[in-house]
Amino acid sequence: MNLSVATMNMKMCRSFCFSCSFEMLLPFSSFRSSFSSFSHSSSSQLQQPHHLRSSDLVAFEYSDLNLSYNLDQGHVRIRQHVNPLSASFSVPAQVPDWNMVFADPTLPLMVDIGCGSGRFLMWLAKRNPKVSNYLGLEIRQKLVKRAELWVKDMSLDNIHFLFANATISFKQLVESYPGPLRLVSILCPDPHFKKRHHKRRVLQKPLVGAIVDNLIPGGQLFIQSDVLEVALDMRVQFDEFDALKHIDTLNPALPCDDEGWLLRNPMGIRTEREIHAEFEGAKIYRRLYQKQT
């Protein structure tokens, strides 16, 4: 789905959520016609749009994937946060046999750090077969298991999910990959607000170095958060590398606001956290860097 349509839809949904005015929607026929094909909506929901929740929007934006929600696993209940410093997450992930997980392990690789449900990466993988491979790293095992079932269901051969603490496993994983590392994303990472918990944040100094060292020249790094403090924490760490140039200096088609945050998500689809946050009216703070040749 076109990003501007998605954004417009999101704004409309906010209108009718907060004002409960269905009349306001009538001019936006594109939304009503696309929403009528939204497979997870019952007719009663369509007649009562004020009941729309951000989770409905997530399902709508990802409806192209046609995911089955009746997998053997049943309903996936997950804890709000895990502590990545606990002993159970300190064992580095085993490097997979890349020939077993990707049809062509020499293709350029995108790694999404803290990929959550994995739907964002599946959407990209489905659109780019034989062009790129996609690796999702996620510390919550149940999400990885469900993502693996979805990938099997969709018969995609260019995507893989790993149960891994990215802070400690990223370097070894990408250095063993036979192809080039083209794109890394860290999107809406867990904020761990308390100062004494900042060391639980996924982006720590060794991971910063491993990303910058392993990206190929011309490769890109996309970061974003709906929490300014977290976005700044990531930005400060990457801005100090001369090898990384922010995209607005290279591509004027991707403009920034006065503070240097990208105005749009350049990936063609919003992440789930991004959809929830924008639905609540939050601003998303984004940076897209390119490594110099």
Catalytic (active-site) positions = 190
Comparison of 49 and 84: residue with beta carbon closer to ligand SAM: 84
CA-angle at 116, arms to 197 and 255, nearest 5°: 90
Inter-CA distances, 37 with 59, 95, 196, Å? 12, 41, 47
Inter-CA distances, 33 with 46, 47, 289, Å? 11, 13, 37
Rule CB under 6 A: say whether 167 interacts with ligand SAM.
Answer: yes
State the nearest-atom distance from the C-beta of 117 to ligand SAM, in Å: 7
Residue from 189, 237, 246, 284 touching ligand SAM (CB under 6 A): that is: 189
Please tell me the distance from the alpha carbon of residue 260 to that of residue 1, in angstroms, as a whole number: 26
Burial 254-273, CB ≥16 within 10 A → b, else e: eebeeeebbeebebebbbbb
Q: Are strands 181-187 and 109-113 parallel, antiparallel or unpaired?
A: parallel
Choose the stretch contacting ligand SAM; rule: CB under 6 A; options: 19-27, 37-45, 159-167, 280-288.
Answer: 159-167
Comparison of 71 and 227: residue with beta carbon closer to ligand SAM: 227
Inter-CA distances, 165 with 7, 151, 154, 206, 224, Å? 32, 21, 26, 13, 19
Rule CB under 6 A: say whether 114 interacts with ligand SAM.
Answer: yes
Residue from 187, 212, 215, 230 touching ligand SAM (CB under 6 A): that is: 187
Task: Write the DSSP string, 208-253.
Answer: HHHHHHHEEEEEEEEEEESSHHHHHHHHHHHHT-TTEEEGGGT-TT
Please tell me the distance from the alpha carbon of residue 293 to that of residue 289, in angstroms, as a whole number: 13
Rule CB under 6 A: say whether 136 interacts with ligand SAM.
Answer: no
Q: Report the amino acid identity of residue 7.
A: T
Binders of ligand SAM among residues 43 to 72 (CB under 6 A) are: none
Please tell me the distance from the alpha carbon of residue 198 to that of residue 167, in angstroms, as a whole number: 13
Residue from 116, 124, 125, 220 touching ligand SAM (CB under 6 A): that is: 116
Binders of ligand SAM among residues 196 to 225 (CB under 6 A) are: 202
Choose the stretch contacting ligand SAM; rule: CB under 6 A; options: 68-76, 114-122, 175-183, 231-239.
Answer: 114-122
Residue from 137, 156, 262, 288 touching ligand SAM (CB under 6 A): that is: 137
Comparison of 119 and 246: residue with beta carbon closer to ligand SAM: 119
Rule CB under 6 A: say whether 138 interacts with ligand SAM.
Answer: yes
Q: Enumerate residues 6+ apart whose C-beta is below 8 A from 42.
A: none
State the nearest-atom distance from the C-beta of 34 to ligand SAM, in Å: 22
State the nearest-atom distance from the C-beta of 98 to ligand SAM, in Å: 19
Residue from 272, 285, 287, 291 touching ligand SAM (CB under 6 A): that is: 272
Q: Enumerate residues 6+ apart whose C-beta is below 8 A from 101.
A: 160
CB atoms within 10 A of CB 35: 22
Rule CB under 6 A: say whether 190 interacts with ligand SAM.
Answer: yes
Comparison of 49 and 113: residue with beta carbon closer to ligand SAM: 113
State the nearest-atom distance from the C-beta of 245 to ligand SAM, in Å: 24
Q: How many residues bind ligand SAM (CB under 6 A)?
A: 20
Which residues of the chain form contacts with ligand SAM (CB under 6 A)? 84, 114-116, 137-140, 165-167, 187-190, 202, 271-274
